[in-house]
A = this chain, B = another copy of it.
């Protein structure tokens, strides 16, 4: 690029119509001039050849992505990860904010992903390592999406659960149980105080545990538990399947007795979720398979909060995400970023309930709550409820006992002296 060509991919915020652009924060490592690398990054993701041969025209003013901010720091040690065919030259670690004109593609999830995570971003000259750190949408773009139908407030209304976390539990054994004992486990957990008994993300519509039978039995068990406890409960049925079955499985599961539905967001595709959202009559809950494949490394891929935002945009009422604790291998700040992406203002889009999960139990509840600093979260043990030594009723009770102690300002360990379920939970799961 000539100096003039490079300059044409730079702008000041005030020069642009903010409503016409999505803002993208990238970090990247490049070889050679960072200013030219960032210009190429804009060109490649928007108008890569901005005039016809022999024609005096320039598509950049309207169609080019533009660098708003750029910081570059030399990395004398070179690229932080070795890449085949990495470009040669002095290496810089950079942070750039880019304004991308969304009129190039419109309010459509597949085209948005193609623009901000496509060939132009990952194959830009001199940039072998790049990570999309964040994304911000103007209000007019957001207004084209429905977002969550119920959101946190709607979910709380349905559960009559206010001023406290929502208690989920992943029914275990997750794979292998037929519907009858599976329903019995959920029933026990609801009696113990669980709000939402949940299919594992790997348990979908299978011949050894068909969704139709499961939804019917769990639905009946749910209604029985509601009658006996006097409070609403939810069965979260996993309808993850081919996109052309989502509507059918929604209707089937809801008709039989499921009153909230799980979809593995990325494996199904967020566009399939957006389609389902138009039809859905119950809350939609996201699980996170596949996201870690591009979200774990600090130097490359996508920050998790980008897909948290996109899941909220696509219409999920609840986003289950990797949470705290060594097993999830997430920096604490990144978990908090994802939680914030669910809760913070997003134009016309309702908040979604964040559910940071990972090897949780009554022993981890207080730590999670203190880190989040809000009651607007879901808590989703698996073994912590269904592997509890006293069974799922005891496991669920241990969560509620722990929360009651926290809410009352009583140390959880003190409360455990009086309550057998909590005591057993701390003994079984408190070692970490």
Contacts and interface: CB of A to CB of B under 8 A. Distances in A.
Interface of A: 45-54, 59, 62-63, 81, 83-87, 103-106, 108-115, 117-120, 122-123, 125, 128, 172-177, 181, 185, 201-202, 204-208, 240-244, 264, 266-272, 274-275, 278, 287-290, 292-294, 296-302, 322, 326-331, 358, 382-383, 386-389, 391
Nearest to A394: B53
Given A206-B104, A242-B108, A271-B243, A201 B119 contact: yes
Contact of A49 (B84, B208, B290, B387): B387
B267 A242 contact: no
Max chain B C-beta neighbours (<10 A), residue from A49, A83, A109, A177? A49
B49 A172 contact: yes
Contacts of A175: 46-48, 59, 63, 104
A267 to B, nearest CB: 4
A103 B292 contact: no
B176 A264 contact: no
Nearest to A300: B297
Nearest to A125: B327
A328 B204 CA distance: 38
B48 A174 contact: yes
Contact residues of A: prevailing secondary structure = loop
B81 A297 contact: yes
B174 A128 contact: no
A204 B103 CA distance: 11
Contact of A50 (B176, B202, B241): B176
A268 B271 contact: yes
Contact of A240 (B104, B111, B274, B388): B111
A123 B272 contact: no
A270 B108 CA distance: 17
Contact of A114 (B86, B240, B296): B240
A229 B175 CA distance: 60
Contacts of A267: 109-114, 117-118, 271
B206 A103 contact: yes
A305 to B, nearest CB: 15
Contact of A242 (B81, B109, B202, B244): B109
A176 B63 contact: yes
Contact of A181 (B46, B52, B386): B52
Given A86-B329, A242-B108, A293 B117 contact: yes
A334 to B, nearest CB: 8
B294 A118 contact: no
Nearest to A289: B118
Given A52-B181, A240-B110, A294 B293 contact: yes
B241 A111 contact: yes
Nearest to A82: B298
A83 B85 CA distance: 24
A177 B54 CA distance: 15
A119 B386 CA distance: 19
A288 B84 CA distance: 19
B49 A386 contact: yes
A55 B314 CA distance: 41
A270 to B, nearest CB: 8
Contacts of A63: 175-176
